[in-house]
A and B are shown apart, each in its own frame.
Chain A
Amino acid sequence: MDTSKDAYWRANIRLVTGCLIVWFGVSFGCGILLVDFFNQFQIGGYKLGFWFAQQGSIFTFLFLIFFYAIRMNTLDRKYGVRED
């Protein structure tokens, strides 16, 4: 593997790691492990921890995938590995 592809792979791993930390944080973190802490706060009729478990994490997942897909397109171009 030449250096540019190596660098592409490292950049990819960094991006994925970051996204997965957020993925873990909103679902297992805010929605399960820290749910009692977040339930102290209320937004509208939602307790915050409950909201993360039933809606917030899903919206975050959705954002994450689109963010990842768009960032990867940039990386593809930057490292010259974009398909035609």
Chain B
Amino acid sequence: MDLQTLTYITIGLSFVLYIGIAIRSRASTTGDFYVAGKHVHPVANGMATAADWMSAASFISMAGLISFLGYEGGMYLMGWTGGYVLLAMLLAPYLRKFGKFTVPEFIGDRYYSQLARVVAVICLIFISFTYVAGQMRGVGIVFSRFLEVPVETGLFIGMGIVFIYAVLGGMKGITYTQVAQYCVLIFAYTVPAVFIAINATDNPLPQLALGSELSEGSGYLLDKLDKTLMDLGFGDYTSPFNDKSMIDVCAITLALMVGTAGLPHVIVRFFTVPRVRDARISAGWALLFITILYTTAPAVGALSRMNLITTVNGTDGSGTSYAAIPGWFKTWENSGLLAWFDHNGDGKVQYAAGNAFAGNGKPVFAGEQRGPHRERVTSNPGDGKPVGNAPFANEIYVDRDIMVLANPEIAGLPDWVIALIAAGGIAAALSTAAGLLLVISSSVSHDLLKGTFAKGISDRTELMAGRIAAGVAISIAGYLGLHPPAFVAQVVAFAFGLAASSLFPVILMGIFNKRMNKWGAISGMLTGLTFTLGYIIYFKGIFIEPFAANIPENWILGISPEGAGVIGMALNFIVATIGARNTAPPPPHIQQLVDDIRVPRSS
């Protein structure tokens, strides 16, 4: 059976599984639709949270990011896990005690203000759509690379599947499909990782393989990688702050942590467990399931970088002639994620530091034209000068997403492992997309309609409105996936910044600061959101041209747009505190509400 058929079968089977689960767990009340009737076991919720939260970016891009960043990759690893500590200790148990359906509902009640609720809905919709665009794109990309269908077709198939189980089952349907999706994605991620770990180090546990000696006997993997990279003109792998300054690493890590804790689709998962103590332990289970992938990723990153170098430069380190390069190189070249330009004209492919291509370093292909070695012709070669002490100039462009997607091929693993990676990538993207679409639709049907503009509607009408909102949200997400503002990982990073600077501070102060009132909260949220969005647009220019070059000299305190959420968060806290000091304290029944959510059982 060829690879493509195998991939179709694997993905098809996983879809049958998801739809089967969705049909079994249809939602019949708004309680089912919004919070799965609050009947979800903490371990199941932990698994669902892990899938909900590990996105296409975690699955496809993260190991690649780490493999090119080295030490600095740690900011993603710490940032995306450390947030669960904040979530477990500062938010989840109290929000569960509050016991209603959505995050804006908490903000509206706690700050006794419809305006605060609507502002929270705006923040939520902003964050969730930014994030979901990346997921839909991820589904399309996986389809197009593995099944050779256009990105658009893949995207429509993904939308169709999410539509079926999100609209039909609401939170109840999503929860149990996410449990299944977690199993698919973690299996798909760890199996190839174990294979490549054994290949390289004889140690089957990737977590240990990273710190092991290479089986070929040339010392520790990380030492070898450091040395190899330095010989090729790169910074070494394990030393800190080659690519980013210390303050920027701190800011990005903190923004990701706080952003994780402030993401509405993650928070709302903790509304689905029966009791406050389940919410606490469930955060632990979620992090355990996430840790399995997150401690595997650094090993995948380091091993795949090593594999890439040895495959391309050959064992003698002089390069491999294009005629003798393995098949995967040509497959990914065809999809545009790899490119080669023979700078020194020796017919060999060589990999070293520096950009092989001019401009932003990405190749511009001259259609399907082929060069003297049958390679794809590119029209923007760089200057072809070696960087530092490298023995030759870099001749290839490697998209970092390849590190996970092509890993099984690079390591020479069997076809079924490759098919598995495709199913895993799709599971990661779909599970996150569904969670996001659900919080968008519940905030529309519950916060905007039932809570603000159409208070009289019945439960049945509200449920129908929720389903329609989910359908509309999926269509918009699909549109954003077709016309993405930037590439997957980047879009997702912005969602974290926005969550960190708008929602997290007001929820936190709502629980821990009784004196915080509605004016403080509203002004804080708007300040945080506006600042962070402005900072990102100023340097990155989404939809418009950037105002200033995105370089450290221009940044405030040396903090890049990815870490801007931290400044936004600080401004939010400051503005909110000043605002609250100068306006009337919250009424007594609100202070009572705060006392009440602080204890698991109210008397």
Contacts and interface: CB of A to CB of B under 8 A. Distances in A.
Interface of A: 1, 5, 8-9, 12, 16, 19-20, 23, 27-28, 31-33, 35-36, 39, 43-47, 49-51, 53-55, 57-59, 61-62, 64-66, 68-69, 72-73, 76, 81-84
Contacts of B275: 83
Contact of A46 (B75, B211, B284): B211
10 contacts: A1-B595, A20-B85, A32-B74, A32-B75, A45-B211, A45-B220, A46-B210, A53-B77, A58-B78, A66-B284
Contacts of A16: 89-90
Interface in B57-111: 66, 71, 73-75, 77-78, 81-82, 84-85, 88-90, 93
A55 B600 contact: no
A69 B273 CA distance: 15
B553 to A, nearest CB: 22
Contacts of B599: 5, 8-9, 81
B534 to A, nearest CB: 26
Which secondary structure dominates chain A's binding surface?
Answer: helix
A83 B601 contact: yes
A76 B600 CA distance: 8
A45 B210 contact: yes
Contacts of A1: 595
B78 A53 contact: yes
Which secondary structure dominates chain B's binding surface?
Answer: helix
B88 A27 contact: no
B352 to A, nearest CB: 23
A61 B85 contact: yes
Given A27-B82, A39-B238, A58 B89 contact: no
A55 B240 contact: no
B26 interface: no
Nearest to B208: A44
Contact of B81 (A47, A50, A58, A69): A58
Given A43-B211, A45-B223, A53-B78, A65 B284 contact: yes
Contacts of B222: 45-47, 50
B81 A61 contact: yes
Given A23-B82, A27-B82, A28-B250, A72 B90 contact: no
Given A55-B207, A61-B84, A81-B600, A20 B89 contact: yes
Contacts of B598: 5, 9, 12
A68 B35 CA distance: 25
B518 interface: no
Contact of A33 (B213, B246, B254): B246
B4 to A, nearest CB: 36
Contacts of A82: 277, 600-601
A53 B71 contact: yes
B287 interface: yes
Contacts of B71: 35, 50, 53-54
Contact of B280 (A36, A43, A58, A69): A69
Contacts of B240: 32, 35-36, 39, 49-50, 53
Given A23-B82, A46-B210, A76-B277, A55 B295 contact: yes
List the 10 closest A-B pairs by CB distance, nearest first.
A53-B74, A45-B220, A45-B211, A65-B284, A44-B211, A69-B280, A46-B211, A54-B298, A69-B281, A50-B238
Contacts, number: 145
> Which of B77, B89, B287 counts the most chain A CB atoms within 10 A?
B89
> Which of A36, A45, A50, A62 counts the most chain B CB atoms within 10 A?
A45
A81 B601 contact: yes
Nearest to B257: A27
B133 interface: no
Contact of A31 (B74, B93, B595): B74
Contacts of A45: 210-213, 220-223
Nearest to B301: A54
B78 A31 contact: yes
A55 B296 CA distance: 9
A19 B221 contact: no
Nearest to A67: B284
B546 to A, nearest CB: 28
A69 B88 CA distance: 8
B239 interface: yes
Given A45-B221, A51-B211, A81-B600, A57 B283 contact: no
B280 A54 contact: no
Interface in B221-246: 221-223, 238-240, 246
B253 interface: yes
Given A49-B240, A53-B78, A58 B600 contact: no
> Which of B246, B276, B280, B599 counts the most chain A CB atoms within 10 A?
B599
A72 B66 CA distance: 36
> Which of B78, B212, B239 counts the most chain A CB atoms within 10 A?
B78
A44 B220 contact: yes
Nearest to A75: B600
B277 A73 contact: yes
A58 B75 CA distance: 11
B210 A68 contact: no
Nearest to A2: B603
B470 interface: no
Nearest to A47: B238
B253 A32 contact: yes
Contacts of B73: 54
Contacts of B595: 1, 5
Contacts of A8: 599
A81 B83 CA distance: 27
B287 A61 contact: yes
> Which of A39, A69, A83, A84 counts the most chain B CB atoms within 10 A?
A69
Contacts of A31: 74, 78
A51 to B, nearest CB: 7
Contacts of B294: 58
Interface string B308-343: 000000000000000000000000000000000000
